[in-house]
Amino acid sequence: ASLDLPAQALESASHKADLLLTQTRNLSSRARGYNQRVISESDALAEEVVGVSRALKRDLQAARVALQSDDRWEEVVNQLERAQGVLHGNGPAGDLRRYAKTRQPYVLSLLLGPSSNVVALRKDQSQQMKVDYHRFRNRSAYTMFAFAAVLQWGLRRTQALSESRDGVSMAPVLLVGVQLFVCWMLFYYVASALRESVLKLNGSHIRPWWIHHHYWAAGTSCLLLSLPVDSPTFRKAINGFLWWPMLQSVVILTQNRYQRRRMYTRIALGKNSTMDVVAGDGVGAHGQLVFLYPLLFLLQGLQVYLGGVMIKHSYWAMLRTEGYLNLENRDDDLWGNRGFFLAGCLMIFMAW
Amino acid sequence: ASLDLPAQALESASHKADLLLTQTRNLSSRARGYNQRVISESDALAEEVVGVSRALKRDLQAARVALQSDDRWEEVVNQLERAQGVLHGNGPAGDLRRYAKTRQPYVLSLLLGPSSNVVALRKDQSQQMKVDYHRFRNRSAYTMFAFAAVLQWGLRRTQALSESRDGVSMAPVLLVGVQLFVCWMLFYYVASALRESVLKLNGSHIRPWWIHHHYWAAGTSCLLLSLPVDSPTFRKAINGFLWWPMLQSVVILTQNRYQRRRMYTRIALGKNSTMDVVAGDGVGAHGQLVFLYPLLFLLQGLQVYLGGVMIKHSYWAMLRTEGYLNLENRDDDLWGNRGFFLAGCLMIFMAW
Ligand SMILES: CC(C)(COP(=O)(O)OP(=O)(O)OC[C@H]1O[C@@H](n2cnc3c(N)ncnc32)[C@H](O)[C@@H]1OP(=O)(O)O)[C@@H](O)C(=O)NCCC(=O)NCCS
Ligand SMILES: CC(C)(COP(=O)(O)OP(=O)(O)OC[C@H]1O[C@@H](n2cnc3c(N)ncnc32)[C@H](O)[C@@H]1OP(=O)(O)O)[C@@H](O)C(=O)NCCC(=O)NCCS
């Protein structure tokens, strides 16, 4: 009997192993079938979406032209517009254009590769992405404010100390802090551009200029990181510059409150909400816009002002002929001044 | 009759508009059904894959323990290993673990958001990603070599000129070029880490240390970008540093040739190839490895050597007590030297 027990265990284990092998093989066949169905169905859907959207565009254009000379076309235009509404998201499946293979935003094909696919077919997933995006912006805004405020305070303290010429100024530590902050900003802008591109592919109506704005901001961060941090110009100019991320974080927080409220209203109204309801809910959140718009103008004003100050203090370095083709005496700090001249131009350009 | 024609056109357009509206509505319903089926099927697949893979792991462990005291368990272990082979890619659907929700690599959830989804269900798509990845590395290697070689040559010319003190040295232009090159390297390493993470999620057996390596390289690029480019140390040290990307690009090209050949062999063998065939084909490409390994050792050796040179020339700056808490005279160039000390440490660390 003591020999029987292991034999029994072996037999049952062998039986179980056979079963597991069969189960895994079946699973693989099922997965393959699933894959093939997904491929053929999504290809068919994509094709039909492209066909319908082309036909709609053409017919709608023609009908609108006809309407100008003949009122009876109004019903046709209405009907076609209703169809377009369904295509753009009023139907049960939401925005159908996601099924058509859209061109990948440049930043995604650059960083993730041209055949990467970030379109989520599941509505819950794509909605979660938007929630994540708002959370990311919220968290980042707090980080941005705290980081910039501490540096601002520290650098002011350093200046006061260096005027009275005593005490430990901590200037090198603060300047390294500034560079870490600039690295963080670079990360923030690149991540924003990437996440927004993903949202766009998933049907968000995010504006292209907003994504482009983040490319420019990332470029400006690279420029700031490349400047000689120990140069006198850098130390003078960075103090003013730090006001900008501080105000920007306040704007992001306010804007986020508005966008989030709007999003939750729309989610609550269900994805079958017509475009009219969307327009209506925008009016409902009007109270928030009253805060948002002046803040946005203030931010742009500050940006132009800071850019102007940078240019005013440093344009002389651009006019000098030395230092372009041969290296100059470092004491003139032509390098730092020219860097901030460029940064000032970029600031003003981005405010446009 | 001249009144009939427009009326007829109107009627046919109206009819067509109705048809289009119906078609779009049907399309939306179909898309919704498709979505729901994809969700429920992929959820079911994921659940079953997780269950099977847990059961296999547990049973295999137990069977291996039993095998140590009883030879008759060999057949059971074999059977279970066959099942695991199917799970890991020998079945018709390829690697089944892709269907289980895996944890997102950190860099992806940081830059794309935690709910972004880059897993391609289509085998052709994921294979295309790998082809794209190799193409990206190939293109980048040429860029890296050309960029670094031009800068290397230019900087050497500048040095020769500055010794003889005449002519236009172009040093500032070249130094800006170096910074652009460092920006490009930052992009290259971040893009590599992102693309490799995407490949990993799609079932590639890419090693985690390889991805981590690219994080560190990106960090080193940030450090180099942050150093004062107009400092004498920078100008001296950058010349040596540029040998590293030049050799690296040669290694990348050689490695790519090997990996590509291996990949095409495996694609040609079909996805049903067993693991044995894979091991066999590795032996087939042995000829290439003979070139690759010495090159890799050479690269690591160069990296350690360059790091050592950086450290040797700059460690004195770390020992000085000034400049840590208060800013120092710029002429000592403590900042630049300390930066290159850190860069040297990172170079040696990355060669490990
Ligand atoms: C991301 C953002 C741009 C969304 O923009 P938006 O135009 O408000 O987008 P909407 O909320 O109107 O969404 C439009 C549609 O896309 C859908 N959508 C939005 N995000 C989606 C996603 N990730 N996946 C799938 N669908 C999504 C919405 O559900 C809606 O579809 P519906 O018509 O089926 O309901 C916005 O939330 C945001 O934060 N923007 C920051 C930038 C900005 O606004 N800058 C301006 C001032 S500086
Ligand atoms: C990307 C890379 C790591 C692939 O690594 P690998 O271990 O050779 O991967 P394999 O080619 O063995 O692929 C293993 C499996 O993953 C699959 N796979 C690979 N890439 C895939 C993808 N993008 N999508 C789906 N499956 C993929 C393969 O088809 C194979 O599956 P199979 O068993 O069903 O055939 C390699 O091509 C590469 O270039 N690496 C660069 C880094 C490096 O090698 N560094 C070391 C020295 S410095």
How high is the pLDDT of residue B59?
A: 93
Q: What angle do CA B134, B91, B267 make, to 5 degrees?
A: 30
| Residues in chain B within 8 Å Cβ distance of A174 | none
Cα distance between residue B48 and residue B56, in whole Å: 12
pLDDT for position B286: 55
- Residues in chain B predicted with pLDDT less than 50, given as ranges, are 1, 271-285
- At A116 the three-state DSSP class reads coil
B259 contact partners, CB below 8 Å, separation of at least 6: B134
**pLDDT computed for residue A343 by the predictor:** 93
Q: Which of A323, B341, B148 is nearest to B156 (CA)?
A: B148
Which pLDDT score is estimated for A210? 87
Question: What are the contacts of A6-10 at 24+ separation with CB within 8 A?
Answer: A6/B70, A9/B66, A10/B66, A10/B70, A10/B72, A10/B73, A10/B76
Would you call B81 an interface residue with chain A, using a CB distance cutoff of 8 Å? no
Task: Give, using CA atoms, the residue closest to atom 4 of ligand 1.
Answer: A206
Q: What is the pLDDT along chain A (352 residues), one digit of tens a residue?
A: 455 777 888 889 999 999 999 999 999 999 999 988 888 898 899 999 999 999 999 999 999 999 998 888 999 999 999 999 999 888 888 888 888 877 788 888 889 888 888 887 677 778 888 889 999 999 999 999 999 999 999 999 888 887 776 677 788 899 999 999 999 999 999 999 999 998 888 878 788 888 999 999 999 999 999 999 888 888 888 988 999 999 999 999 988 888 888 777 777 765 433 333 233 334 344 555 677 788 889 999 999 999 999 999 999 988 888 888 777 777 778 888 899 999 999 999 998 7
Q: Which two tokens stand for residue B167?
A: 């002519």
Say which DSSP state B104 is in.
P
pLDDT for the residue A53? 93
Closest CA to A6 of B54, B82, B65: B65
Task: With a threshold of 0.90, tell me whether the complex ipTM lies above it.
Answer: no
Q: Residue A260 corresponds to which amino acid?
A: R
CB neighbour list of residue B337: distance below 8 Å, 6 or more residues apart: B233, B313, B314, B316, B317
Q: Do B13 and A63 touch (CB under 8 A)?
A: yes
Mutate to test the interface with B, among A58, A75, A115 (most CBs of B within 10 A): A115
Q: Residue B175 and residue A330: Cα distance in Å, rounded? A: 14
Segments in chain B forming alpha helices (H): 4-69, 74-85, 106-111, 123-164, 171-201, 208-226, 232-241, 243-269, 275-284, 286-319, 334-351
Check if the beta carbon of residue B218 is closer than 8 Å to that of residue A190: no
Contacts of B156 (CB under 8 A, 6+ apart): B239
**Rounded to a whole number, what is the distance in Å from the CA of B87 to chain A's nearest CA?**
7
Beta strands in chain A (DSSP E): none
Give the closest of B99, B198, B229 to A31, CB-based.
Answer: B99
Contact indicator for B28, A96 with CB cutoff of 8 Å: yes
Cα–Cα distance between A312 and A307 in angstroms, integer? 9
Residue A130 in contact with ligand 1 by CB distance below 6 A = yes
Interface contact flag, A195 B38, Cβ < 8 Å: no
Cβ neighbours around A262 below 10 Å, total: 16
Domain assignments of chain A as residue spans, ordered by start: 4-91, 123-351
pLDDT, tens only, B320-350: 888 887 777 777 788 888 999 999 999 999 9
Task: Give the pLDDT score at B280.
Answer: 35
Radius of gyration of chain B (CA): 29
Segment B253-276, tens digit of pLDDT: 988 888 888 777 777 765 433 333
Q: Looking at the partner chain, which of B45, B63, B113 has a beta carbon nearest the beta carbon of A129?
A: B113
Task: Note the residue count of chain A.
Answer: 352
Indicate whether residue A259 lines ligand 1 (CB < 6 A).
yes
- How is residue B190 written in tokens? 């971040």
How confident is the model at residue A285, as a pLDDT? 47
| Ligand number, closest to the Cα atom of B273 | 2
Which residues' Cβ are closer than 6 Å to ligand 2? B 89, 94-95, 126, 129-130, 199, 202-206, 210, 259, 263, 266, 271
Output the residue whose Cα is nearest ligand 1's atom 12. Answer: A205
Q: Cα separations (Å) of A219 from A43, A52, A233, B230, B261?
A: 38, 40, 20, 20, 38
Q: How far is A351 from chain B (nearest CA, A)?
A: 24
Q: Find all residues with CB under 8 Å of A117, minimum gap 6, and list them.
A: B118, B120, B125
* Intra-chain end-to-end CA distance of chain B, in Å: 89
Closest Cβ–Cβ partner in B63, B115, B327 for A125: B115
Token pair for residue A77?
């235009």
Give the angle subtended at the CA of B315 by the CAs of B314 and B318, to the nearest 5°: 110
| Residue B344 exposure: Cα atoms within 13 Å on the Cβ side | 22
Q: Is A54 exposed, middle or buried (0-12, 13-18, 19+ CB in 10 A)?
A: exposed
Residue A269: how many other CB atoms lie within 10 Å:
14
